[in-house]
């Protein structure tokens, strides 16, 4: 259940019998012709759909992450690593104060890796709590399904092109040659923009909705399994 559909008394009642919660985190960054909030949209949606049958509260997605490479693309907003870690610590502290002790962080952005390290550090100081950091798109079953669906799943191509991340009036162009990601990591933001052009890492921009919904179902089931395993 979305925390937006609960009041504080409902949360208090929930933690009397169950201490699980889901916390999605994402990013606001360029995704070629897809929404700038793609990472946050996908993280929150997979968390909500996974948690719904279990009744587990799902907090709003943190919409900002660490994405300095895309700073030259208008609308892309990056946090510093220390800012993300400070915000994560405050959120985890707040969840603990509310009575949650088992927290599934559903991450939608590769650049947020530092948040996973922070979660490990936080548990060192809070040994009565458990945090799982879940990169939903590259979890084992979901990633295997993506590779079986088509070649080259990557940033801003078909892998992230769902009906709920597309923008009205936009259409997918033809295939694009894959960029050299290792080289991309060595470049400052303005050069990254020059290399990426419209923003994707290459490959096919879209696949059929049937294929994408099948992939999504695996992601939801894999995320739900983590909550159920607790």
**Contact (CB, 8 A) for 228 and 147:** no
Instruction: Specify the pLDDT at position 145.
Output: 98
3-state secondary structure of 65: strand
Instruction: Specify the pLDDT at position 17.
Output: 97
d(CA 104, CA 164) in angstroms, rounded, equals 23
Cβ-based neighbour number of residue 58 at 10 Å: 26
Q: For the domain that residue 120 is a member of, what is the CATH number?
A: 3.40.50.10310
pTM for this model (two decimals)? 0.96
Confidence of residue 5 (pLDDT cuts 50, 70, 90): very high
Cβ-based neighbour number of residue 128 at 10 Å: 8
128 phi/psi in degrees, rounded to 5 = -85, 0
**Contact (CB, 8 A) for 105 and 133:** yes
Confidence of residue 170 (pLDDT cuts 50, 70, 90): confident
DSSP E strand stretches across 83-182: 102-107, 130-135
Please give the mean pLDDT across all residues of the chain.
Answer: 97
Confidence of residue 23 (pLDDT cuts 50, 70, 90): very high
Closest by CA to 56, choosing from 7, 116, 15, 91, is 15
**Could you identify the residue written with the tokens 């020059």?**
194
> Which residues, 6 or more positions from 194, have their beta carbon under 8 angstroms from its beta carbon?
none
Tell me the per-residue pLDDT of 172-218, one tens digit each, with 9 for 90 and over: 678 999 999 999 999 999 999 999 999 999 999 999 999 999 999 99
d(CA 180, CA 183) in angstroms, rounded, equals 5
- Total structural domains within the chain: 1
Confidence of residue 227 (pLDDT cuts 50, 70, 90): very high
Distances in Å between the alpha carbon of 229 and those of 47, 52, 128, 223, 224?
A: 15, 15, 18, 10, 9
Residues recorded for the chain: 230
**Could you identify the residue written with the tokens 């400070």?**
86
Q: Is pLDDT of 38 > 80?
A: yes
Span 48-52, average pLDDT? 98
Instruction: Specify the pLDDT at position 169.
Output: 78
Domain of residue 63 covers: 3-229
Tell me the per-residue pLDDT of 107-139, one tens digit each, with 9 for 90 and over: 999 999 999 999 999 999 999 999 999 999 999
Confidence of residue 1 (pLDDT cuts 50, 70, 90): very high
Confidence of residue 57 (pLDDT cuts 50, 70, 90): very high
155 phi/psi in degrees, rounded to 5 = -60, 125
Confidence of residue 21 (pLDDT cuts 50, 70, 90): very high
- The enclosing H or E element of 189 equals helix 189-196
Instruction: Specify the pLDDT at position 174.
Output: 81
Confidence of residue 44 (pLDDT cuts 50, 70, 90): very high
Q: Is pLDDT of 37 > 90?
A: yes
From edge to edge, which strands make up the β-sheet containing 130-135?
20-25, 102-107, 130-135
Instruction: Specify the pLDDT at position 66.
Output: 98
């Amino acid at each position: 259940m979305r925390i937006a559909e609960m009041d504080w008394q409902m949360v208090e009642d929930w933690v009397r019998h169950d201490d699980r919660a889901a916390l999605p985190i994402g990013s606001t960054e360029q995704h070629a012709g897809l929404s700038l909030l793609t990472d946050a949209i996908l993280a929150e949606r997979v968390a909500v759909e996974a948690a719904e049958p279990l009744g587990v509260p799902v907090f709003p997605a943190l919409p900002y992450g660490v994405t300095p490479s895309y700073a030259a693309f208008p609308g892309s907003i990056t946090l510093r690593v220390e800012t993300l870690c400070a915000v994560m610590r405050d959120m985890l502290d707040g969840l603990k104060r509310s009575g949650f002790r088992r927290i599934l962080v559903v991450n939608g952005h590769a650049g947020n890796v530092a948040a996973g390290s922070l979660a490990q550090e936080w548990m060192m100081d809070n040994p009565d709590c458990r945090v799982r950091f879940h990169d939903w798109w590259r979890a084992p079953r979901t990633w295997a399904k993506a590779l079986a669906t088509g070649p080259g799943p990557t940033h801003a191509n078909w892998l992230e092109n769902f009906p709920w991340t597309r923008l009205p009036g936009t259409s997918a162009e033809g295939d694009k040659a894959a960029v050299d990601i290792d080289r991309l990591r060595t470049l400052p933001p303005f050069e990254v923009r020059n290399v990426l052009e419209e923003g994707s890492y290459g490959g096919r921009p879209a696949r059929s909705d049937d294929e994408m919904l099948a992939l999504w179902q695996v992601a939801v089931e894999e995320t739900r399994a983590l909550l159920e395993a607790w």
